Chains A and B, each alone.
Chain A
Amino acid sequence: MAARDVPVEVTAPVVEMRGITVEYSGVRVLDGADLTLRPGEVHALMGENGAGKSTLIGALTGTVPILAGTVLVDGLPRTPTSVARSRAEGIATVFQESHLSPHLSVAENIMIGHEVRGRFGISWARSRKQAEAALATVGIEDVDPRAPLAALSPATKQLVAVARAIVLEPRVLVLDEPTSSLDESEATRLLRVVRRLRDQGVAVLFVSHFLEQVFAVSDRMTVLRGGRVVAEYRTAEVDRAELISKMIGEDIDALQALHSQRLSHHYAESSRVALRATSLGRRGMLGPTDLDLARGEVVGFAGLRGSGRTELARLMSGVQRADRGELWLDGERVQLRGPAAALRHRIAVSSENLRHEGIVAGLTVRENIVLALQALRGWARPLSRAEQDAVVDTYLDALHLAHEDLDRPAGELSGGTQQKVMLARLLATRPHVLILDEPTRGIDIGAKLDIQRRVAKLAGEGVAVVFISSELEEVVRLSDRIVVLKDREKIGELSNGPGVTVDTIVEMIAAELDGPDPGDDG
């Protein structure tokens, strides 16, 4: 990409979004959000899952219809209605490498949709030449544009995705989680390209769950929470702890009682270790991690999404196989070949992705509750109706589930009820180790309280519980011990006590990587 004539007033915004409001089937996902992008600046969009980042990007690139608000490009009002149209206005999106076509060549991937046309249709020679120029801009001129994309490494593919976005010389470049499939050195390479583009005067909108990358590359940041902009900072001036607490938000705490209850609970120090992980890890997923879970203990995993908290849970429960390290269950080495094996070892796990890995939407609530138990028994030994009723009734009242919902398809019920159904399904297998990944995400306060109470009670009954939540208050409230993760590594462990607050954890996450303090104060 050639250096262009940068406007004299470098600070004049190229894109201004004002009061953007978006609703999906009546649910307001963006509520009057503002965003300003200036040429020669990398602007980071921050926020937890569901904060509205992707929606805001969609509103900018024309994939999401805007209910209210204006988008100004060069000071003129525009209504982005399609990706093609926003591209014509100079707004380009870098797709994740998984959105490229593996069987097309590199040049085809870059030029698809805007091939150079000659008298006899597409001129592939000239198209390839343009593709080569774009490859050079992103610093991978050694890649053969005729090679099939599938032959490249993930990092190179991601750079090809950047090349695809910049080939039309956009003035605004949107990168949504561009580094999620890259390792550290690959990510560094990509960030270098982003900086170079910025220096050429491109306005970059950057979204990443990796905090350090955001701090390394961005000049300015906007923080979203619950569809609203809660802060805008210059990156150089921002306090990390403040940023993280802005992202997470401080809920009105109606649950303080549970906290003090948990604090007075204090599991017996002599408790047997139920599950022990030693240097458990998997390449590209989680660094080697040591962890002990004791009976009757709630261990919270704290960290932002992508920090490795879900990955650790999945490796501990056989959902994904570790390629290093060992798992010990009640002092015996176990190898979990899958979730079914884990269940036989009395390790039950729920996924953070309720819709895709939790609820079987087409089955009834009753079937969903007995599913894991039935799978454990095998198909040939069906649970009789009476046995099903006994199982279902055990959890119905405890979780405040409605009797008349039992024979409705689980997919018709609210998120909170579905989470309770999931919990009931796991509990029906009488687990010794219970791993809950985001069991309270996006549900109302009542359902949340039901689930938290149940978790506290389980620990009292001697179950080893892992509790993962994006809401740190919740983790602090429930956990005996908190494992803190960041950038796919365990960075420390805290014994919960009167001195431990959300800020303690936030400071741990925000601290620079150079001195990871184990903080294990027993």
Chain B
Amino acid sequence: MPTTTPARPRAAEGGLRRIAHHTLFWPVVALIALLAANTVYRPSFLSVTVLNGHLFGAPIDILRNSAPLMLVALGMTLVIATRGIDLSVGAVVAISGALSLSFIATSPNPGSLSTVLLAIAIALGVSLVLGVWNGFLVSVVGIQPIIATLILMTAGRGIAMLITEGQITTVTSPPFKTLGAGFWLGLPVATLVAGGVFLLVAFLTRRTALGMLVESVGINPSASRLAGVKARTIVWTVFALSGLFSGLAGLILASNVMAADANNAGLFIELDAILAVVIGGTSLQGGKFSLSGTFVGVLIITTLTLTVTIVGISPLVTPLFKALVVIAVTLLQSPRIRESFAARARQRAARPEEVSA
């Protein structure tokens, strides 16, 4: 009878075990451990104070600093879910920042809202076009994603240099500064923007059929094609979104420092974004993706960076710390490692019987 409940052995093992089997269990544990370590080092770490109507404190810093990486990682999650990868995000960040700031700097009235909005629109439009270009190379021309996006990764910084004419353009424009450094309702604007995009993407993928179709293409492109899924359009779309989100991240980063640095803006952000996606449990082989996993991954990476600063370790060794955490988390998530742990546990349990047999 279909109405009888099937015997589920796992249900009997208790809730704790189920939580431990959740894909996000170890990333969340890692995040909590990081926060705890910081609190031990500096007991006031987790405290949030209100100053001039704004929230202040390390947790707020983490949220604000996470915003650009969050945006980039969201696009990266979708791209990776279709078996792709986008190496050009850092270059798009630089181009977007350079474009917006150069436009504001050369405009007659850098402080006006209309100038700023136009600058943002131009930067986002160009970023979208760059994403569409990547998508074209991958889905229409059929170039492998890593190569297709490598083109823009290397060329992009050159384009940004052309835009800034090799200068580090410094600009004063209060409305533009709000994007990266402002507050609204007590929270950083950057955080609100990233949060809004997160919700939008979550809605787009989970409340429409886009998420399922993306996963289907990522898991089995040929089967998806035979089922009538337009794999080309989907791959193209996710690359376009990745470009657009990277452009937005570039705006936030540029607004934060109010200077367009074509060489260093968004440098290595593609690697951080890929790390965040992988830590969050989305496989580089494509398929099932987890936006909340990416969220936790981004928080881990930003917290790590902040930890290094707070503890006073030289920023030069930040990459080393990141590497250690990433190794730990990915090992704990690896099915093979888990299986060998489980096998060892079973062996240990079985050993007494073997002796008696």
Contact = CB atoms under 8 A, between A and B. Distances in A.
Interface of A: 319, 338-340, 342-344, 349-351, 356-363, 367, 371-372, 374-383, 402-404, 425, 429
Q: Give the 7 A-B CB pairs with smallest separation, nearest first.
A: A375-B228, A343-B228, A403-B2, A362-B219, A382-B209, A340-B228, A375-B229
Interface stretch (B92-100, B178-186, B210-218, B290-298): B210-218
B228 A361 contact: no
A380 B209 CA distance: 6
Contact of B215 (A363, A404, A425): A363
Contact-size category for B: 20 to 34
B220 interface: yes
Contacts of A349: 226
Contact of A339 (B209, B213, B220, B225): B225
Interface of B: 2, 6, 207-210, 212-213, 215-216, 219-220, 222-230, 234, 287-288
B207 A382 contact: yes
A363 B2 contact: no
Nearest to A383: B209
Contacts of B288: 362
A357 B209 contact: no
Nearest to A382: B209
Given A381-B209, A403-B2, A357 B230 contact: no
Contacts of A425: 227
A144 B183 CA distance: 72
A350 B234 CA distance: 22
A358 B226 contact: yes
Contacts of B207: 382
Contacts of A383: 209
B227 A372 contact: yes
A375 B230 contact: yes
A378 B6 CA distance: 35
A360 B228 contact: no
B224 A382 contact: no
B212 A367 contact: yes
Contacts of B230: 340, 375
Nearest to A356: B222
Contacts of A381: 208-209
Contacts of B213: 374-375, 379
B229 A363 contact: no
A32 to B, nearest CB: 33
Given A358-B223, A380-B208, 14 more contacts: A340-B225, A340-B230, A344-B228, A356-B220, A356-B223, A357-B223, A361-B219, A362-B287, A371-B212, A371-B229, A374-B212, A381-B208, A382-B207, A404-B2
A375 B216 CA distance: 10
A363 B216 contact: yes
Given A382-B207, A383-B209, A360 B226 contact: no
Nearest to B285: A362
Contacts of B215: 360, 362-363
A340 B225 CA distance: 7
Nearest to A401: B2
B66 to A, nearest CB: 28
B228 A372 contact: yes
A360 B224 contact: yes
Given A339-B227, A372-B228, A379 B220 contact: no
